[in-house]
Amino acid sequence: MLDLKQIRENPQSIQELLDRRCVGQYDLKPILELNQRQRELEASRTSFQARSNEIGKLIGQTIKAGTPADAPELQALRDEGNQVKATLSELEPQEKDLKAQIEALLLPLPNLPSASTPLGKSEEENVEIRRWGDEYIPQNPDILPHWQIGEKLGILNFERAVKVAQSRFVTLIGAGAALERALINFMLDQQIAVGYLEVMPPILINSESLTATGQLPKFAEESFKCESDDLWLAPTAEVPLTNLYRDEVIESSQLPIYHCAYTPCFRREAGSYGRDTRGLIRLHQFNKVELVKVVNPATSESELQKLVQNAAAILEALELPYRIIELCTGDLGFSANKTYDLEVWLPSAGKYREISSCSNCGDFQARRGNIRFKEAGKKGTQFVHTLNGSGLAVGRTMSAVLENYQQPDGTVSIPQALQPYLKREVL
């Protein structure tokens, strides 16, 4: 959530930053108007509350001085006190209602892009940072798309998944299930080795958790909700991992906090109809290893660079060609102020496809979730910075393995790093 005080004190600069995302989409005027009314009410309420307290003291002093309880001056004070209390009983709900209206307008506002995020209106203006592994790009011109080679090998089945669920689900069979499990274990082991603490969080999460990380209210249509409960299927482990610390004050000595988690993830993919209808790229249910950091604001920029490298290390260990893209202001995710996407090479498409998105959210999620830290010897608290990234999307990694390691004879070699997990060298 954006800082209301910052909006009030610097409305023009905040508006300009929001316009870098999308010109004309966000209007701060209603927030400023409501906040002005709320501040006026607050000042009035504070004044009446002070008078109420003063009347209470005067009554006590007057009685203590020996004035009879039925004296006119005491009755006048009591009458005034009752009038003040009546006024307060009217002002307090009005102020509460205005605060709720302001919050309802603040929640849909996205994070502000960082000063170093490149300007741009859409993904066409994203900036390529670097490529890795050109020497690993296969030269075989007859590579089959991953869904075709997977079905041919009998390790993926989409038709039976439709029978059980609906379209955009997959059933992994035999070596396909084993390969998915091997990838998950490999990714977790790699991240644990560089300092992440593994967590197995709930995958049913409440609305407050989704609101804290920015999925609600804006992306309600993207998520699956359990209608009988205030519970949703997790769209990403970013949500439960970040919310482990909601409404907490963390000692600065505990920072940075690194967590990794494997979870199934669930997304409706609303608005993506007609895109990637075949294969493992855009499913309603998919597995992912997620990386989340909770850090001191002073280190969040450097922590983002480390996060990108943590995700990239998986691709390098698997010898899968990839490139890193820095997202422009018009393509940033809702909660991010700066994002790097990792895109893996898919030979059948002849292009790179996103496999990880690594973002610095600054204090945006921390404000929504009230996650703070306290430095030893200092008064007060500050909001932490939160970061997240896929390390990696497992199904997309499998699709890259099935294509990049595909052999002319129709078999698929297993990356050397995975062989100890899969206990085989070829599919």
DSSP letters, 59-91, are HHHHHHTT--TT-HHHHHHHHHHHHHHHHHHHH
Residues 6+ positions from 411 with CB-CB distance below 8 Å: 426, 427
Residue from 151, 208, 301, 354 carrying the catalytic annotation? 354
pLDDT of residue 199: 98
pLDDT of residue 273: 59
Active site residue 282: yes
Delineate the domains of the chain, giving CATH numbers in brackets.
Answer: 4-106 (1.10.287.40), 123-422 (3.30.930.10)
Which residues of the chain fall short of a pLDDT of 70?
Answer: 270-276
Query: Could you tell me how far CA 238 lies from the centroid of its own chain?
Result: 6
Distance CA 401, CA 186 (A): 14
pLDDT of residue 68: 79
Active site residue 248: no
Residue whose pair of structure tokens reads 């890259």 in the numeric block: 400
Closest of 287, 112, 119 to residue 187, by C-alpha: 287
The strand pair at 382-383 and 372-374 is best described as antiparallel
Residue from 282, 353, 375, 413 carrying the catalytic annotation? 282
Q: What type of residue sits at position 320? A: L
Residue from 180, 290, 396, 399 carrying the catalytic annotation? 396
Distance CA 349, CA 345 (A): 9
Q: For the packed helices 175-193 and 394-404, what is the interaxial angle rounded to 10 degrees?
A: 110
What is the torsion angle, in degrees rounded to the nearest 10, for the CA atoms of residue 176, residue 178, residue 180 and residue 185? -170
Query: Could you tell me how far CA 296 lies from the centroid of its own chain?
Result: 18
- Outline where DSSP puts E strands in 215-350: 225-226, 231-233, 249-251, 257-266, 285-295, 322-326, 338-346
pLDDT of residue 69: 75
Closest of 123, 109, 129, 90 to residue 330, by C-alpha: 123
pLDDT tens per residue across span 328-349: 999 999 999 999 999 999 999 9
Active site residue 396: yes
Active site residue 16: no
Active site residue 181: no
pLDDT of residue 77: 83
Task: Please measure the distance between the N-terminal and C-terminal CA atoms of the chain and give it in whole angstroms.
Answer: 48
Ramachandran assignment for 271, one of left (phi > 0), alpha (psi -120 to 50 degrees), beta (any other) = left
Q: How many CB atoms lie within 10 A of CB 339?
A: 26
Q: What type of residue sits at position 414? A: I
Q: What type of residue sits at position 98? A: L
At 5 the three-state DSSP class reads helix
The strand pair at 225-226 and 257-266 is best described as unpaired
pLDDT of residue 18: 95
- Please list the alpha-helical segments (H only) found in 25-71: 29-64
Residue whose pair of structure tokens reads 């002093």 in the numeric block: 61
Residue from 114, 356, 357, 390 carrying the catalytic annotation? 357
Q: Provide the β-strand partners of residue 261.
A: 290
Give ∠ CA 392-396-398 in degrees, rounded to 5: 95
Q: Is 185 exposed, middle or buried (0-12, 13-18, 19+ CB in 10 A)?
A: middle
Closest of 208, 268, 205 to residue 232, by C-alpha: 205
Residue from 267, 367, 368, 372 carrying the catalytic annotation? 267
At 282 the three-state DSSP class reads coil
CB 391 within 8 A of CB 314: yes
